[in-house]
Amino acid sequence: MLESLIQKSKQDWKYHFFVLYCWALFPVNFAKHFWIVIIYEWEIYRLEVCHFKNRKNPELWYIHLNLVKPRSWLKKYLRKTKKYRKPYLAYHISWSKKSLAYKISHFIKLNYKDYKYTQKYNLFIWPNCNTFVQYMLNRFPEIKFKLPRNAFGENYN
C-alpha cells in the first residue's frame, strides 16, 4: 500500500517529503527507527543514519543515501531470516515548485551532508538515526510534526 502511495505521488507531484518509521528489532523493539524519503523532480531519495559506516561513500560516515535500492526500499531484508520490517508513514507533504515540500526536499538534497553528527553514532546514548530526522525537521519550523517519545535520540543537542 505504501509503495503504491509513493509511486502515485511520484507521478502526481514533483516534490515530496516523507517521514517513515519501523519498529526496531529485539532487544529495543519498543523503539522506533525513523528515516526520510524525498522525491525531488521525480527522483526518489531515501536518507537515513544507520549503525554501520557507509562503505560506498566513506566521507558520509553513518549517513546512507539509498542504502536499499529504490524498488525494494519498502521491504528491507534483515539478517538472513527472510523477514521484513513493515514501514509506516508518519508524515507526508507534497506539492509543486514554490511550496514547503519543494523547500524541504531541495534543502535536504543539497544539505544532508552538513549534518553535524556524521561521525558519531550510538544506539543507546545518541546521536542516532532519529537525531538525524529531528535535525532535518528542526530546519523547518512550519512543520508541526515532532518525533514521538519512543524515537530515542530525537532531543539530542
Q: pLDDT (tens digit, 9 = 90+) per residue, 109-129?
A: 999 888 888 888 776 667 888
User: Is the residue at 155 inside a domain?
Assistant: no
Number of domains the chain is built from: 1
Helix H or strand E segment including 35: strand 32-40
Q: How confident is the model at residue 77 (pLDDT cuts 50, 70, 90)?
A: very low
What's the grid cell of residue 120?
Answer: 558519531
Q: Which domain holds residue 42?
A: 2-138
Query: How far apart are alpha carbons 107 and 22 in whole angstroms?
Result: 24
Q: Which of 125, 117, 155, 151 is CA-nearest to residue 23?
A: 151
> Exposed, middle or buried, 15 (CB in 10 Å: 0-12/13-18/19+)?
buried
| pLDDT, greater one: 86 or 43 | 43
User: Is the residue at 143 inside a domain?
Assistant: no
